[in-house]
């Protein structure tokens, strides 16, 4: 995941192959980052992961503390059906 001053980006990467499998951001939902919208971004990522038959992932918070937007994304992914 990556947070800029204006946007929020999340992607699923295959570390062995070095490929990005799926990605989601605030551009997918059309709204600015907030706690509620971060959860929607997480759910959107989970939907894309399930379409690619991935049901389990490791969450790398990229050094950000686990609260606020980061926590909302993780909870959105979990609610979307992906185990992290």
C-alpha count within 13 angstroms, C-beta hemisphere, residue 39: 8
How far apart, in Å, are the Cα atoms of 11 and each of 27, 61, 81? 13, 11, 16
Question: Which residues does residue 23 pair with via DSSP β-bridges, in sequence order?
Answer: 11
Domain count, the chain: 1
Evaluate if residue 32 carries a pLDDT over 90.
no
Residue 84 lies in a domain: no
Structural domain span for residue 58 = 2-79
Evaluate if residue 77 carries a pLDDT over 90.
yes
CA–CA distance, 68 with 54 (Å, rounded to integer): 25
Residue 66 lies in a domain: yes
Evaluate if residue 10 carries a pLDDT over 90.
yes
Q: Cβ distance 84 to 74 under 8 Å?
A: yes
pTM of the predicted model as reported, rounded to 2 decimal places: 0.89
């Amino acid at each position: 995941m990556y947070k800029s001053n204006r946007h929020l980006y999340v992607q699923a990467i295959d570390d062995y192959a070095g490929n990005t499998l799926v990605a989601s951001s605030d551009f997918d939902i059309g709204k600015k980052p907030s706690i509620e919208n971060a959860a929607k971004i997480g759910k959107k990522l989970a939907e894309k992961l399930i379409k690619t038959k991935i049901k389990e992932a490791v969450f790398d918070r990229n050094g950000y503390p686990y609260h606020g937007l980061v926590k909302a994304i993780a909870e959105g992914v979990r609610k979307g059906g992906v185990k992290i």
